[in-house]
Structure 1
Amino acid sequence: MEAPGPVPQERWPGVIDLNQAAPQDDLPSVSGTAHENELRGRSSPSANGASGQSDGAVGRSRRQSGSPLEIDAISRMLYFASQGSVEDIQAMLDDGADVNSHDYDGRSALHLAASEGKLGAVQLLLERGARVNPLDRWGGTPLSDALHFGFQPVADLLRSRGGHVINERLSDGKRFLTNPPQRAYSSDIGPEWELDPAEVDWRKSFLIGKGAFGEIRLASWRGTRVAVKSLLPSLSHDEQVELEFFDELRMLCKLRHPNIVQSLGVVTHQRPLMLLFEYLPKGDLADLLSRKGALPAATAIRYALDIARGMNYLHLQRPNPVLHRDLKPRNLLLDESGHLKVADFGLSKLLTTDAMHEQYKMTGETGTYRYMAPEVFRHETYDKSVDVFSFAVILQEMFEGGPAWRFTAPEEVARQVALRHLRPPFKASTYPLGVKELIQACWASDARLRPTFSVIIERLEEIEEYMAAAEKALRDGYPLSQLWGLPGMLHHQQQPHQPPPQPQPGVGHV
């Protein structure tokens, strides 16, 4: 759907037309620095941490059967459950949502609420008829999730309703009550994650990915195709590499979300170290864009919501938020139901509790140049907003069909972005109303002005709702001018911008 028209400039003070700055595919060389005014995103999520709170039940009631939003109902239910947003869950159930709906991995709303310790959400779901022992793809129940993550009140409630810890052997289909296997484990990775490497069937395996420190092969485990990441044999005695690999193992074993690639287990008692995770055969976003080019607007927004929800889950991890630091299309994988999952946490970092509310003393060129935030390239301190910057570039590519300046060396692209404040141009005519402004806010030069993923989710949902309303209005013969208005995101009061500094002699402007 094309945007009905440009957003009035006064709504978004300080917007610079980046299309005029760099309409060409090849970048000029760096010559000096530039100042760029950026959009200010709202910095605080809603009080209870859930997205889309400003809509409420009224906003959701506008959604029509058969609209592009209908296919996203399951994701919304799971997201609200993971955030413990009782009001939103209640509204969706009142509107007819299935309390037992689940994603491709069998993860239900009760699974997500239990794994995040959201007692109120768990109680509501049970009261509304949620099955207490649904099995996910790996034989996990809500009770096993609550116990694993240490949420005892949730576990007690589930037990009182008949909850069990159930393990399912995928090879023969038999289910049985069991306790987690009591094996030795390393580096505080729980014993329930330790796997017997003899169960991995390599007979039909083949290489599906390789990096500087490890490789990923397709194999079979308990009758299920899995991806197995292992350290290269030549690095098996490199202590630093092993420590970093253990960091990744510890991190992935804690993550459970519909938009995060799921880990299945680890091998730490013998070499090479291995991580087993779900295999997603539909490929990644980079392959999809190379095959199909620019995506339909509804698809791009749906994918953007998938990415934002997964990243929001990472950034809101407690006690230690997770930075991805290498978010790019190649690390976004498609599942069987057509949703994106965030993958490849090789460069991810857990933030200590003390650093949660300040900038983190991390510097260096970490990540992929084309998606690298300016402060990372400049070796400055950075925080979670580097992932927001990468997200903005990915969202722009989904509408444009691929990366800008593809004939320019990636390092040169990063240099121009960091030192001359250049941004990829908006050439496509398919951006829905509000999307360009959101992208510009997310790739702001000043990292403090970038919105959080909680705010991004809220804005994307408002844009998606507006698109559905516009589509219905056109279908029913109403002019767009009679719609209920711009997306709510355009009515949010922006923090007053300080006037830009006056140009200094010798400093060029984009």
Structure 2
Amino acid sequence: MDFSLPHCFCFFLLLLPISTSGQTYRNISLGSYLTAAKDKSSWTSPSGDFAFGFQQVGDAGFLLAIWFNKIPERTIVWSANRNDLVRRGSRVQVTTDGQLVLSDQSGRRIRIADSVENGVAYAAMLDTGNFVLASQSAANLWQSFDQPTDTMLPTQNLSLGGELIAPYLERNYSDGRYKFILSTEGNLQMYTTRYPSTANNVAYWSTPSPTVGGYQVIYNQSGYMYLVAKNGTVLNFVFSSSVSMQDFYQRATLDYDGVFRQYVYPKAAASRRRRWNMAWTSLSPSIPSNICLSTRGAVGGGACGYNSYCSLGGDQRPSCQCPSGYTFLDPNDVRKGCKQNFVSQDCDQPSEETDNFDFMDMPNADWPDNDYEHFDSVDEDWCRQACLSDCYCAVATFKDRNCWKKRIPFSNGRIDPSYGTKALIKVRIGNSTTGPSSKKNDRSTLIITGSALLGSSVFLNVLSLIGIYVFISRLSRQKQKMIQPLNVMPGVNPVSFTYNELETATGGFKEELGSGAFGTVYKGDLANEDTPLIAVKKLEKMVEQGEQEFETEVKVIGRTNHKNLVQLLGFCNEGQHRLLVYEYMSNGSLSIYLFGDSRPNWYRRVQIACDVARGLLYLHEECSSQIIHCDIKPQNILLDESLNARISDFGLAKLLKRDQTKTTTAIRGTKGYVAPEWFKNLPVTTKVDIYSFGILLLELVCCRKKFELDVMEEDQIVLADWAYDCFKEAKLDLLVEADEEAMEDMKRVERFVMVAIWCIQEDPSLRPGMKKVVQILEGAVQVSIPPEPTSFISSI
């Protein structure tokens, strides 16, 4: 990170930050105000690049913020009330005495600009992204640049004691779990926090301790960010890319995952790109380069929370997962960690319990700093038995004849191919949620008997009351059945809408988003200030199959909850009208994104592949009722506003109870994605989705459809056959020609193509499970050379 540079070059760099005093101002006069409302009124900079005003955050309230105004995502770079959102009707005002004040409808006032000197003449939103209160001579008496939240912009500096605090989640802007600090000793450091407190845990990244203390972090308009001493000497470079401010917007953000990244975005109006892209040239694409391996220490849960593990995903971003036998505490916030989904081993009878437990192996995984016992010169079987007979042992790790025992909660979990460590996860056989039966002694028998005698008298007294209650309940249920012909099963939480409400929300079902086997999807707006746009699926074929689809979607999708699944918000069950209400996906389907005029970014395609794989893993192994989707294809993968992939359309899903492993049904799915067993009248398992995913993965890698007649060579018409030929002949570069990013990442291209070939094997038993697919995509486990699959043409 240290650089020895000629003094003249250092001096040139220090001249690059520009003064805001020479900028064009669009003055905001004293007494001006903005009101939090749906129309998003704002004060903009002279060029219109930045805006200051209220941004609505879901149904939680309004954020007073600064954002990039010409970018569709309206990326937020600063906020004043990230931990205290205000409601509609709240107001921000530049008061007549020169203060910047936020007030809500209850009359509560929050002073944003602290200790402003007398003499404020006006406010201004500058083209640098800095909001200022200025004097008549254009001196800045207060500026938002001095109170950063999670982002720095070019020309912005960070002084001693200054800090950035990551947002809690991508769309939750409150204080999160990570900090970037210029300490008073002059070091740049990154910490996890003791959330919900902002107190620091152990640093997970820092600059080397300088002989001369750092004084300021400078982010200049050429894209360089560096730490300087008080005398102007450059001590360390944070980012060392050269980026044109004329051609690109820039920002450096401490993201919610704890990684500090530099981003650019093309200003050209003709650009079709809808996302920020990392664009620096230093050796590490982020700081730290791998947060999964950086977090350590006995305090705190690490990058992904307790009882979880972290791995670097396809786009070099950390991905959080639970080990076998564990599930997320909150699927919408995976960094809260994981919990056991079975009853722990009974310490009163450990020897009798050993037959009820076994181990799931996790290669290249570890939870450092959680060992309570260590043994050397032992073999793996000894390590397994030692953990199995120890009721405190939840995980054992083994490497080079060393065995470490770990107890719950374990922290700082990570997985990396370089480790060579095998983790042994102890799980209850059958994943039972019931604990062991204990022997009844005489004392417990007496207690139970006495309790039963005492309880019997109470039972007799309330028996008549129960009878009356049951009689009334039956009458009530009978009346309810007359009104509601289809009962929603317990555990389903979507909102019930009337048909008139949804007809109004969709403007008479005017704007069609798409159609499928069971109906048509329309765009809607409930005209509710706290409700996002919706997608309403109107079921039109109310025959037996349509009825079954409705029941399946409402009962099952209502209980699913994963960031890579489209969320069911509500339903209508009114006579002959059957409608489903989903969250609206603003970027449409993967089919439109992938096969459009311009080739999508390689790393975004990689992330989409990982998103879909994790969604399928949840459907197959992690939700309460195993779900086979049966129609995985680009049209059924939707993209949200952040281009995260969400699996949609469970209309073709076949549900399996936990004690089932396969089912048989009529052929379902879409030509080209359908597994061979459909045509052979063989039992259908989750492996049909694996097959479809393999075809989808090849489409993502090559950025082309499964069949294309308009190709140079006849052997390129069928993508799956061509991909295997290229793999066999070591010509994988042909699959990603003209894709510079993919060409520079050929090891990942090869890994993705190899796992795709495994997924499309004719024999279902040769296809990997979804958990292994995810691990291979993330680089956690190696992939072996796949055999030749059956000709794609012969399987359709």
TM-score (structure 1 length as normaliser):
0.54
**Which segment drifts farther, 109-118 or 293-302?**
109-118
Matched-pair contact (CA < 8 Å) for 1:297–1:432: no
Matched-pair contact (CA < 8 Å) for 1:388–1:443: yes
Matching residue of 2:496: 195
The structure with the largest helix share of the pair is: 1
Matching residue of 2:657: 352
1:186 equivalent to 2:478? Answer no
Matching residue of 2:754: 437
- State which of 763, 772, 790 in structure 2 corresponds to 1:455: 772
The alpha-carbon distance between structure 1 residues 458 and 89, as it changes in their structure 2 partners (threshold 3 A), is: closer
Letter aligned with residue 88 of structure 1: Y
1:381 equivalent to 2:683? Answer yes
Matching residue of 2:592: 287
Residue 448 of structure 1 and its aligned partner are, at CA, apart by 0.6
Q: Deviation per CA, 1:250-284, whole angstroms, max 9, x where unpaired?
A: 12111100000001012224331111110001111
Q: Deviation per CA, 1:24-55, whole angstroms, max 9, x where unpaired?
A: xxxxxxxxxxxxxxxxxxxxxxxxxxxxxxxx
Matching residue of 1:372: 674
Matched-pair contact (CA < 8 Å) for 1:295–1:398: no
- SS of residue paired to 1:228: strand
The alpha-carbon distance between structure 1 residues 261 and 64, as it changes in their structure 2 partners (threshold 3 A), is: closer
- SS of residue paired to 2:638: strand
- State which of 594, 597, 609 in structure 2 corresponds to 1:304: 609
Residue 187 of structure 1 and its aligned partner are, at CA, apart by 4.5
Matched-pair contact (CA < 8 Å) for 1:282–1:335: yes
- SS of residue paired to 1:353: coil
Matching residue of 1:229: 537
The alpha-carbon distance between structure 1 residues 124 and 69, as it changes in their structure 2 partners (threshold 3 A), is: farther
Letter aligned with residue 763 of structure 2: D
The alpha-carbon distance between structure 1 residues 191 and 98, as it changes in their structure 2 partners (threshold 3 A), is: closer
Matched-pair contact (CA < 8 Å) for 1:285–1:333: yes
1:274 equivalent to 2:579? Answer yes
Map 1:64-213 → 2, pairs under 5 A: 66=261, 86-88=307-309, 107-109=332-334, 186-188=487-489, 190=491, 192-197=493-498, 198-200=500-502, 201-202=504-505, 204=507, 205=509, 206-213=511-518
- SS of residue paired to 2:309: helix
Matching residue of 1:255: 560
Which is bigger in relative contact order (C-alpha 8 A, separation at least 6)?
Answer: 1
Q: Deviation per CA, 1:328-374, whole angstroms, max 9, x where unpaired?
A: 01111111112111111110111122213xxx232442100111112
- Partner Cα distance (1:110, 1:117) in 2: 21
- Partner Cα distance (1:219, 1:251) in 2: 23
- Partner Cα distance (2:290, 2:566) in 1: 20
Letter aligned with residue 230 of structure 1: K
1:489 equivalent to 2:782? Answer yes
The alpha-carbon distance between structure 1 residues 118 and 210, as it changes in their structure 2 partners (threshold 3 A), is: farther
- Partner Cα distance (2:501, 2:336) in 1: 27
The alpha-carbon distance between structure 1 residues 107 and 117, as it changes in their structure 2 partners (threshold 3 A), is: farther
Matched-pair contact (CA < 8 Å) for 1:84–1:118: no
- Partner Cα distance (1:424, 1:255) in 2: 39
- Partner Cα distance (2:537, 2:564) in 1: 19
Map 1:10-25 → 2, pairs under 5 A: none
Matching residue of 2:621: 316
Letter aligned with residue 246 of structure 1: E
Percent of aligned pairs sharing the same letter: 25
Residue 403 of structure 1 and its aligned partner are, at CA, apart by 1.5
Residue 424 of structure 1 and its aligned partner are, at CA, apart by 8.3
1:340 equivalent to 2:645? Answer yes
Matched-pair contact (CA < 8 Å) for 2:332–2:561: no
The alpha-carbon distance between structure 1 residues 308 and 90, as it changes in their structure 2 partners (threshold 3 A), is: closer
- Partner Cα distance (1:98, 1:407) in 2: 38
Letter aligned with residue 202 of structure 1: A
Letter aligned with residue 362 of structure 1: T
- Partner Cα distance (1:118, 1:279) in 2: 39
- Partner Cα distance (1:106, 1:194) in 2: 20
Matched-pair contact (CA < 8 Å) for 1:189–1:253: no
Map 1:7-46 → 2, pairs under 5 A: none
Residue 239 of structure 1 and its aligned partner are, at CA, apart by 3.8
Residue 65 of structure 1 and its aligned partner are, at CA, apart by 5.3
Map 1:412-423 → 2, pairs under 5 A: none
Residue 385 of structure 1 and its aligned partner are, at CA, apart by 1.0
Q: Deviation per CA, 1:260-317, whole angstroms, max 9, x where unpaired?
A: 0001012224331111110001111110122145544322221111010000000014
Matched-pair contact (CA < 8 Å) for 1:189–1:249: no
Residue 114 of structure 1 and its aligned partner are, at CA, apart by 8.3
The alpha-carbon distance between structure 1 residues 240 and 348, as it changes in their structure 2 partners (threshold 3 A), is: closer
Matching residue of 1:53: none
Matched-pair contact (CA < 8 Å) for 1:373–1:389: yes
Larger Rg computed on CA atoms: 2
The alpha-carbon distance between structure 1 residues 451 and 211, as it changes in their structure 2 partners (threshold 3 A), is: same
TM-score (structure 2 length as normaliser):
0.36
- SS of residue paired to 1:306: helix
- SS of residue paired to 1:107: coil
Matching residue of 1:29: none
- Partner Cα distance (2:535, 2:289) in 1: 27
Letter aligned with residue 366 of structure 1: R
Q: Deviation per CA, 1:62-97, whole angstroms, max 9, x where unpaired?
A: x9854668899999xxxx99x9971426999xxx99
Letter aligned with residue 193 of structure 1: P
Matching residue of 1:398: 700
Residue 118 of structure 1 and its aligned partner are, at CA, apart by 11
Residue 241 of structure 1 and its aligned partner are, at CA, apart by 2.2
The alpha-carbon distance between structure 1 residues 250 and 240, as it changes in their structure 2 partners (threshold 3 A), is: same
Q: Deviation per CA, 1:159-188, whole angstroms, max 9, x where unpaired?
A: xxxxxxxxxxxxxxxxxxxxxxx9977151
Structure 1 residues without counterparts, runs of 5 or longer: 1-59, 100-104, 129-150, 153-181, 463-486, 501-507
Letter aligned with residue 381 of structure 1: P
Residue 194 of structure 1 and its aligned partner are, at CA, apart by 4.3
The structure with the largest strand share of the pair is: 2
Root-mean-square deviation (Å) = 5.1
- Partner Cα distance (1:402, 1:90) in 2: 29
Matched-pair contact (CA < 8 Å) for 1:404–1:424: no
Q: Deviation per CA, 1:227-251, whole angstroms, max 9, x where unpaired?
A: 111211xx44x34421232112212
Matched-pair contact (CA < 8 Å) for 1:294–1:400: no
- SS of residue paired to 1:209: strand
Matched-pair contact (CA < 8 Å) for 2:723–2:753: no
The alpha-carbon distance between structure 1 residues 324 and 278, as it changes in their structure 2 partners (threshold 3 A), is: same
Q: Deviation per CA, 1:180-217, whole angstroms, max 9, x where unpaired?
A: xx997715154643413254333535221223421111
Letter aligned with residue 108 of structure 1: D
- SS of residue paired to 1:391: helix
Letter aligned with residue 224 of structure 1: P
Letter aligned with residue 533 of structure 2: R
Matched-pair contact (CA < 8 Å) for 1:256–1:262: yes
Matched-pair contact (CA < 8 Å) for 1:293–1:402: no
